[in-house]
Amino acid sequence: MVPTMGALHDGHVSLMDRARALGDHVVVSIFVNPLQFGDASDLAKYPSDLDGDLDICRRAGVDLVWAPSIDHMYPDGFATRVSVTGVSEPFEGRHRPGHFDGVATVVTKLFAVIRPDGAVFGAKDFQQVAVIKRLSADLGLPVGIDVAPTVRDHDGLALSSRNARLDPASRSRALAIPRSLTAVEKAWRSGVRHTDELETILAAELLGLDVDYASVVDPQTLSTRRDDHAPAVALVAATVGSVRLIDNTVLD
């Protein structure tokens, strides 16, 4: 299966293609999950085009789309939350309290209802993938978690449903995010390994943006790297205009 919140784009299609290569049947879920939105206005602004999404799924060869209502997913009396500690706490967890509880709850329910053999997620949401892997491992869920590479537009910006809300000027400014990741990748390839140096390079490209974080951390725990020879992931979150964007690159 490919879990989505709709507003589908080529990044989602790449997940569907990967799922089709891995399994005999592909299920896509389309559900804008209110539990993972701390800000009601952000939820209200989230783009929705079910007819367009269904057309994309048909053309991608999807076998089944499940698009439940909020009342169906969370009927009166719904009282369960699933919480993953540790990897959920820094970064997005700090800036969006309760977000990952919402993610873990909806993913657990989607897996319970659809019962897929595997699920495909995009690497752009690095911390979300880490949370879901931890959730699946801890609860012994019989679902293989596959991670597909981030798909980028011609200008380098990672594909996201939120990009539709960027006006031309904001989109131009947002390109500082992929530039920052390219700069830190180049530094890594040239032999730079110390976290402070890498973070300085990362931050230098982001001047002028409203940055929530620009960090280089351990990709398994999302905590501070203790060894300059250890692998690393660079994580960025910044708001451009009124649109909050996240991106990352694994430095290993």
In this structure, are residues 249 and 185 in contact, taking their beta carbons and an 8 Å threshold? yes
What are the b/e assignments for 214-234, b being 16+ CB within 10 Å?
bbbbbbeebeebeeeeeebbb
Query: Which three-class secondary structure state does DSSP give residue 120?
Result: strand
Coil, strand or helix at 91: coil
Q: Beta-carbon neighbour count of residue 103 at 10 Å?
A: 25
Two tokens at 247? 């991106």
Structure-token pair, residue 73:
């997913």
Q: Which two structure tokens, joined as six digits, stand for 174?
A: 């947002």
The single residue listed with the structure tokens 């879990």 is: 3
Active site residue 12: yes
> What's the gap between Cα 166 and its chain centre?
18
Rounded Cα distance, 64 and 66, in Å: 7
Q: Which of 12, 25, 95, 194 is catalytic?
A: 12
CB proximity list for 213: less than 8 A, separation 6 or greater:
91, 95, 235, 236, 237
Strands 2-4 and 27-30: parallel
- Which residues, listed in sequence order, are joined to residue 235 by a DSSP beta bridge? 215, 248
Write out the catalytic residue numbers: 12
